[in-house]
Amino acid sequence: MNDKKIILTKNQPPTTNRQPPELMAPAGDWTMLIAAVNAGANAIYFGVEKLNMRAKAANFTLNELDKIVEYCKAKNVKTYLTLNTIVFEEELSDVDGIITEAKKHGVDAVICWDLAVIQKCREHNMPFCVSTQGSVSNSASVSFYKSIGAKRVVLARECSLEEIKKIRANSDLEIEAFVHGAMCIAVSGRCFMSHHLFGISANRGECIQPCRREFEVNDPSVNKSMILGEDYVMSPKDLCTIEYIDLLIEAGIDSFKIEGRKRSPEYVAQSVKAYRTAIDLYFENKLTPELKKNLLNDLGEVYNRGFSAGFYFEKPSAAEYAGVHGSKATTKKEYAGRVLNYFKKAQAVHMLIESGELNEGDKIYLIGTTTGVVEVELKDFLKDDKPASSAKKGDEITFICSSEIKPRDSVYLKKTISGGRT
């Protein structure tokens, strides 16, 4: 995963008083939400039209809160609404309105850090969690937030595993920590680079990530410049903890959070599935190093900038930068066509190929707003009601899929990338 030497302990059988941590997934839209729930998330976090740190994600509307909560409660999944930007004076009424609707529809908690939002949650008797933007990195801070009513704190990303253990030993408040996804050079989120260069503030959820790009350093005194494209010195690798998930469980973290509201539905599905599998296997005392490696490979298939241990074991070094602009994923999706019909009794999908070709053995994604993400391997399929091993643009094919798919769902070919970069 990286060049660091991380000492991993053997898996320990779960103790009688240790509970599985909550697995929380990002939801930027309905497709991602359903993908997360189907993959095994215990909770989802999402934003509405404004005042959340992913303003450029699709997000939801206030009018959808009732449907979100109703769907998630039916699946025994908790809902957390992000109100985690800084808030200006003229926006206090917006905060009131959003919290009122969240309370009305039964959202489990608001994720925030601006004290104005915290105060509004207190006024409305709305449960709240303190966001990682709060930079909570010690038990004294945890105690303070507990004293004003917080139900949970999301620890600062700068915390090491040993520091988390100490905080856990000195506090009984719920602790949440990131286990996977993008990391920012301004680790707890308060960065002004996007605002300085483009007038668009990361602290308002509008970051366009100029730090991820290639930079040129110029010395005007000699009129010479250098391209800093080899190390991408402001673009950290993604956090990935799958190889030492047992250590995080044993540290007593209550909730494991996956980052990625602006990423793809298949990223959410794959990430949640991997961590769900790892957590469940740990509590069955079946999580082996080989299985961890397999799950790491699965995570590498979807968008990533390379993987890092973050701050969990030691402060990140120069080796922890991405080295590329874009993804190091080992697979990518290519549009193949759309679903024409799904036959429930036969569990069969009828689709039209609208681009490229599909062959026996190909893996495909079926993606839709009510379907989420379903991955299928084309072991057998029919073309013109006859068995076939290949089909091209314009052909209609039928294949078995045990998950219910909807007409008009999109179909994508999952394609291996040479060199692992998109």
Domain boundaries, the chain: 22-188+234-320, 331-416
The region of weakest confidence among 110-119, 233-242, 354-363 is 233-242
d(CA 202, CA 257): 20
12 confidence band (pLDDT: 50, 70, 90) = very low
pLDDT the model gives residue 6? 47
Is residue 338 within 8 A of residue 354, CB to CB? The reply is yes
Domain at 331-416, CATH homologous superfamily: Translation factors (2.40.30.10)
pLDDT the model gives residue 229? 59
For the chain, give the number of residues: 422
Q: What is the mean pLDDT of residues 268-296?
A: 97
pLDDT at 219 > cutoff 80? no
Q: What is the mean pLDDT of residues 95-116?
A: 96
pLDDT at 421 > cutoff 60? no
> What is the amino acid identity at position 148?
I
Per-residue pLDDT of 14-40, as tens digits, reads 444 579 999 999 999 999 999 999 999
pLDDT the model gives residue 16? 41
pLDDT at 10 > cutoff 50? no
Is residue 282 within 8 A of residue 249, CB to CB? The reply is yes
Identify which has the larger pLDDT, 418 or 148. Answer: 148
Per-residue pLDDT of 105-115, as tens digits, reads 999 999 999 99
9 confidence band (pLDDT: 50, 70, 90) = very low
Per-residue pLDDT of 305-343, as tens digits, reads 888 888 898 776 555 655 566 678 899 999 999 999 999
pLDDT at 8 > cutoff 50? no
Evaluate whether 22-188+234-320 and 331-416 have a shared fold. no
22-188+234-320: in CATH 3.20.20.70: yes
| Residue bearing tokens 């605002």 | 195
59 confidence band (pLDDT: 50, 70, 90) = confident
192 confidence band (pLDDT: 50, 70, 90) = low
> Which pair of tokens denotes residue 304?
């990533």
pLDDT the model gives residue 305? 82
Instruction: Select from 58, 13, 3, 19 the least CA-distant residue to 254.
Output: 19
Q: What is the mean pLDDT of residues 71-100?
A: 94
User: H/E/C letters for each residue in the chain?
Assistant: CCCCCCCCCCCCCCCCCCCCCEEEEECCCHHHHHHHHHHCCCEEEECCCCCCCCCCCCCCCHHHHHHHHHHHHHCCCEEEEECCCCCCHHHHHHHHHHHHHHHHHCCCEEEECCHHHHHHHHHCCCCEEECHHHCECCHHHHHHHHHCCCCEEEECCCCCHHHHHHHHHCCCCEEEEEEEECCCCCCCCCCCHHHHHHCCCHHHCCCCCHHHCCEEEEECCCCEEEEECCCCCCCECEEECHHHHHHHHHCCCCEEEECCCCCCHHHHHHHHHHHHHHHHHHHCCCCCHHHHHHHHHHHHCCCCCCEECCCCCCCCCHHHECCCCCCCCCEEEEEEEEEEEEECCCCEEEEEECCCEEECCCEEEEEECCCEEEEEECCCEEECCEEECEEECCCEEEEECCCCCCCCCEEEEEEECCCCCC
Identify which has the larger pLDDT, 194 or 153. Answer: 153
pLDDT the model gives residue 124? 97
Per-residue pLDDT of 220-231, as tens digits, reads 888 877 666 555
This prediction has a pTM of: 0.85
Percent of the chain, pLDDT > 90?
A: 68
275 confidence band (pLDDT: 50, 70, 90) = very high
The region of weakest confidence among 89-93, 103-107, 194-198 is 194-198
Q: Which residues of 62-79 are buried (b: 16+ CB within 10 A; e: fewer)?
A: eeebeebbebbeeeebbb
In this structure, the strands spanning 307-308 and 238-240 are parallel
Q: What is the mean pLDDT of residues 7-20?
A: 55
